[in-house]
């Protein structure tokens, strides 16, 4: 994992309509550099800011014109509009984390028809014409780690619920499928009682988590399935004074989750090095633009050796999930 990646700050990284590029550049074709634009799910989220920082670090090392354009909302049309603009600008590559994979498929096809390289990152659009998916970890790896972390606190039993983000997010739905199947097989005394969706909004997720606690007085655990719902489920447990009775795990970023890890409202964060995911995304975009074939094993950097590529489903895999607790949270500055 790229634990020593420096967090780079260049303006307001995720503001709508603001292009954040290496060295203050704005993707000028005259520079001769590969122009890569990162389109996260939404702006103003620490997770995607950290991905952007990793992409900027790779851009510094590989001479890429890297920038980020973030939609103001998670509405699929917002991402589609950004991709349309990027097609008109004739950028070299687009790296997008789809909110709704199906709705992005047509515009991805249009970008490819114009000779623009398109890769998905963080979340896939497998039915589209994207060339590569930069995957943070396998659904099985994340799902089993999440359930094991929760069951370790609940005594391998009890009622638990899931608070997810967008109902169309392919990666989150794959993780939920894995968690549901694994819990049923490995922990027969545990029961998933409810799954709800809050979009990418922490306030909504907190409200939904509190409602779950009210509906299920015997609840023993909650999973915050995304980086905005992970702090939300912990906040709900804290607000309703159920620390030590209801346990939570999630995929929150380390520094956002630190207060909850320290007071016990969150037991563990199951994540990955988010800056490394951004770094790998930029590196992969560079390979596509240069026409460099990905190998089964790729030495991306000293911190990212032997990164695996599956040519069958065109997926490059960052690695195993990273388990973050109160003991190691300060190793990660994002």
Residue pLDDT, tens place only, 110-156:
999 999 999 999 999 999 999 999 999 999 999 999 999 999 999 99
Q: How many domains does the chain have?
A: 2
Is the pLDDT at 26 greater than 60? The verdict is: no
Pairing mode, if any, of strands 190-197 and 158-164? parallel
- Whole-angstrom Cα distance, residue 102 to residue 123? 12
Same domain, residue pair 144 and 264: yes
Domain with 36, as residue range(s), is: 22-136+273-319
Per-residue exposure over 292-323, b if at least 16 CB sit within 10 Å of its own CB, e if not: eebeeebebbeebeebebeeeebbbbbbebbe
Same domain, residue pair 200 and 262: yes
Within-domain flag for 324:
no
Question: What does the block give as tokens for 96?
Answer: 């997008």
Nearest of 10, 2, 67, 1 to residue 33 by alpha carbon: 67
Is the pLDDT at 98 greater than 80? The verdict is: yes
Same domain, residue pair 184 and 67: no
Within-domain flag for 10:
no
Same domain, residue pair 45 and 100: yes
- Whole-angstrom Cα distance, residue 315 to residue 119? 10
pLDDT-based confidence at residue 183 (cuts at 50, 70, 90): very high
Same domain, residue pair 303 and 265: no
Same domain, residue pair 79 and 51: yes
- Taking only the tens place, the pLDDT of each residue in 211-248 is 999 999 999 999 999 999 999 999 999 999 999 999 99
pLDDT-based confidence at residue 210 (cuts at 50, 70, 90): very high
CATH number at residue 172: 3.40.50.2300
Mean of pLDDT values over 191-197: 98
Within-domain flag for 9:
no
Mean of pLDDT values over 60-84: 96
- pLDDT for res 19: 36
Within-domain flag for 334:
no
Which helix or strand (DSSP H or E) is residue 179 part of? helix 170-186
Is the pLDDT at 7 greater than 60? The verdict is: no
Is the pLDDT at 14 greater than 50? The verdict is: no
Same domain, residue pair 160 and 103: no
- Whole-angstrom Cα distance, residue 155 to residue 153? 6
- Whole-angstrom Cα distance, residue 121 to residue 198? 21
- pLDDT for res 170: 87
- pLDDT for res 32: 73
Is the pLDDT at 18 greater than 60? The verdict is: no
Within-domain flag for 14:
no
Mean of pLDDT values over 199-214: 96
Same domain, residue pair 61 and 47: yes
- pLDDT for res 28: 47
């Amino acid at each position: 994992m790229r634990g020593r990646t420096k967090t780079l700050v260049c303006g307001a990284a995720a503001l709508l309509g603001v292009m954040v590029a290496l060295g203050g550049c704005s993707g000028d074709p005259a520079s001769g550099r590969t122009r890569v634009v990162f389109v996260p799910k939404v702006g103003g989220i620490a997770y995607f800011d950290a991905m952007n920082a990793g992409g900027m670090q790779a851009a510094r090392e590989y001479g890429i014109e890297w920038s980020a354009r973030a939609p103001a909302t998670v509405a699929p049309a917002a991402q589609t509009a950004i991709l349309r603009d990027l097609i008109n600008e004739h950028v070299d590559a687009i790296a997008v984390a789809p909110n709704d994979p199906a709705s992005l498929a047509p515009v991805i096809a249009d970008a490819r028809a114009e000779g623009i390289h398109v890769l998905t990152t963080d979340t896939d659009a497998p039915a589209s014409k994207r060339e590569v998916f930069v995957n943070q970890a396998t659904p099985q790896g994340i799902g089993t780690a999440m359930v094991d972390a929760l069951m370790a606190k609940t005594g391998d039993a009890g009622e638990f619920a899931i608070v997810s983000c967008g109902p169309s997010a392919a990666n989150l739905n794959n993780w939920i499928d894995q968690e549901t199947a694994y819990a049923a097989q490995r922990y027969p005394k545990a029961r998933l009682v409810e799954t709800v969706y809050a979009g990418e909004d922490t306030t909504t997720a907190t409200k939904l988590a509190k409602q779950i606690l009210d509906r299920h007085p015997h609840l023993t655990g909650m999973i915050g399935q995304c980086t905005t719902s992970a702090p939300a489920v912990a906040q709900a447990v804290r607000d309703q004074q159920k620390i030590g009775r209801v346990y939570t795990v999630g995929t929150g970023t380390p520094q956002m989750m630190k207060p909850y890890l320290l007071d016990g409202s969150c037991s563990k964060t199951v994540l990955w090095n988010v800056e490394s995911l951004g770094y790998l995304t930029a590196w992969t975009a560079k390979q596509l633009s240069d026409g460099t074939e990905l190998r089964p094993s790729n030495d991306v950097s000293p911190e990212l050796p032997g990164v695996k590529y599956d040519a069958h489903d065109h997926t490059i895999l960052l690695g195993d999930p990273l388990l973050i607790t109160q003991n190691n949270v300060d190793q990660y500055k994002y």
